[in-house]
Structure 1
Amino acid sequence: MTPIVSEEYKQKKRQEILQSAHVCFAEKGFEASTVDDIVARSKLSKGAIYNYFKSKDEIYLALMEGQTNDSGSKFAKAIAERETSLEKLNYLIEAYLDNDPNDEENIGHAIVHYEFRLYSTRNPKLKDMLTKRYRDFFVSLLTGIIKEGQAAGEFNKELDPETYADIFWAIVNGATLQATILEDYHYKHILREMQSIFLEKLSSK
């Protein structure tokens, strides 16, 4: 008779796999890491891992989903506590200023983050999934804030909110990528200057 496994147990094992995979990806890179590496790190069998995830791609997507959900909850709570759209935008930028990819605890994650995105460009299904995630969460979040600011008279009503949401993330992602691949890149200074330029353009004055 097959033993009954509780949902709590399944979630615990799933998280153990994800945490082990995250360490492997940060240490060796996404493409260089293997399921055998995750097996060695997690102390689980390969069969046990495949009970939860069909592939290494699926493991990384689950990690991204978890991070997006965590960020979404954090951002939603903090944004709701701020009254103006300008305050909400500044909060988001400050959150990224506090997450410098050059910091030791962030560098491994930042490298894997961009490595996986490049890897996904050769896989149409993955590319579609990442594009949907970007549109449904990141662009939607900024579009909502900008529209709110336009309605309140804070931001220029002639500007297209979705275009400026894309510009915002291009600024953040561009600065993060540069900081990840270049030596002595002044991430915080650059991001603050870009913040000033972006807000000046967005302003209704």
Structure 2
Amino acid sequence: MGKEDRKAREKERRRNQIIDAAERIIFSKGLEQATMDEIAAEAELSKGTLYLYFKNKTELYLAITQRGSDLLNSQFAKVFAGGHEHTGLELIRLLGETYLNFVRENPNYFNAFMYYESLSNVEELKSSKHAERCEENRREALNFMIRALQIGMQDGTVNDSYEPKELAVVILSSTRGITAMSHMHGTGYHFEMLDEMEISVDMLFENFLKLVGAGIASDDARKRWMTDSHNFETNGK
């Protein structure tokens, strides 16, 4: 290994060391309460070294967001790893379940996603390589859904009268809304209306999947979709 390769590997190792430390501090204290001094101390580096890698706390949090979106998209990719094992309609359901499970298991990354989507400083985003990568990941996630819809239209399980790109945007946007509700309910926010109506978030999400599936499925595939949804509910997944 050459000198330049060693330098590059050391730089990447230290960069990940900083992101690991930032996750521990920010995830435990919150973004507003966390300071760069605390992150530098957690990483066992000087504050000056920290700023060599990340110009401010926002850029560092965007690096965390990128890490989370990288992980989420790697899980989306696994949905397609089975080749022709699933129909397009089944892939759509699996993508939805994967997203919900990711948020349940990684609520802090979902907080980072919501923060990224709330940023309004366009110039700051344009100058951030991490924001650029987050945007690439968001497009890739959309393409996973488009691909599932196209597969479904080809195998006859999805109604081919829809435009795949437009439908993918509708499904992903709706899924994010339902998932956000699940996330907030599970992390301390209280939805009195849901409790008063005795509606569980899990059943809300399950019925949402049924509605989406029944709405886009071909006539032949609709019955199977509803049966699979029933099995999902019965097994408590």
**Common topology (TM > 0.5):** yes
Which runs of structure 2 are paired with 1:7-156 in the superposition (5 Å)?
7-81=8-82, 82-99=85-102, 101=104, 106-118=106-118, 120=119, 122-125=120-123, 129=131, 132-133=135-136, 135-156=138-159
The alignment partner of 2:45 has SS state of coil
Using a 3 Å threshold, how does the CA distance of structure 1 residues 100 and 59 change in structure 2: closer, same or farther? closer
Task: Give structure 2 stretches of 5+ with no counterpart.
Answer: 195-199, 220-237
User: How big is the shift at 1:135?
Assistant: 4.8
Kindly indicate whether the alpha-carbon contact (under 8 Å) linking 2:17 and 2:43 is maintained by their aligned counterparts in 1.
yes
Kindly indicate whether the alpha-carbon contact (under 8 Å) linking 2:73 and 2:141 is maintained by their aligned counterparts in 1.
no
User: How big is the shift at 1:13?
Assistant: 1.1
Using a 3 Å threshold, how does the CA distance of structure 1 residues 204 and 144 change in structure 2: closer, same or farther? same
Show CA shifts across 1:105-140 (max 9, x none): 64444334324432x1x3124667478346521212
In structure 2, the residue matched to 1:172 is 175
User: How big is the shift at 1:69?
Assistant: 2.5
TM-score normalized by structure 1? 0.81
The alignment partner of 1:63 has SS state of helix
Amino acid at match of 2:170: I
In the alignment, the residues of structure 2 paired with residue 76 and residue 44 of structure 1 have an alpha-carbon distance, to the nearest angstrom, of 35
Amino acid at match of 2:216: L
In the alignment, the residues of structure 1 paired with residue 161 and residue 18 of structure 2 have an alpha-carbon distance, to the nearest angstrom, of 48
In structure 2, the residue matched to 1:187 is 201
TM-score normalized by structure 2? 0.72
Name the Cα RMSD after superposition: 2.7
User: How big is the shift at 1:58?
Assistant: 2.0
Kindly indicate whether the alpha-carbon contact (under 8 Å) linking 2:68 and 2:109 is maintained by their aligned counterparts in 1.
no
In the alignment, the residues of structure 1 paired with residue 107 and residue 103 of structure 2 have an alpha-carbon distance, to the nearest angstrom, of 8
Corresponding residue pairs, total: 198
User: How big is the shift at 1:97?
Assistant: 3.9
User: How big is the shift at 1:28?
Assistant: 2.4
Deviates more, 1:49-58 or 1:178-187: 178-187
Over 4 Å off, 4+ runs = 126-131
In the alignment, the residues of structure 2 paired with residue 23 and residue 116 of structure 1 have an alpha-carbon distance, to the nearest angstrom, of 19
The alignment partner of 1:80 has SS state of coil
Amino acid at match of 2:26: F
Greater gyration radius? 2
Using a 3 Å threshold, how does the CA distance of structure 1 residues 112 and 71 change in structure 2: closer, same or farther? closer
Deviates more, 1:108-117 or 1:161-170: 108-117
User: How big is the shift at 1:157?
Assistant: 1.1
In the alignment, the residues of structure 1 paired with residue 91 and residue 153 of structure 2 have an alpha-carbon distance, to the nearest angstrom, of 13
Using a 3 Å threshold, how does the CA distance of structure 1 residues 143 and 90 change in structure 2: closer, same or farther? same
Kindly indicate whether the alpha-carbon contact (under 8 Å) linking 2:70 and 2:137 is maintained by their aligned counterparts in 1.
no
Amino acid at match of 1:13: R
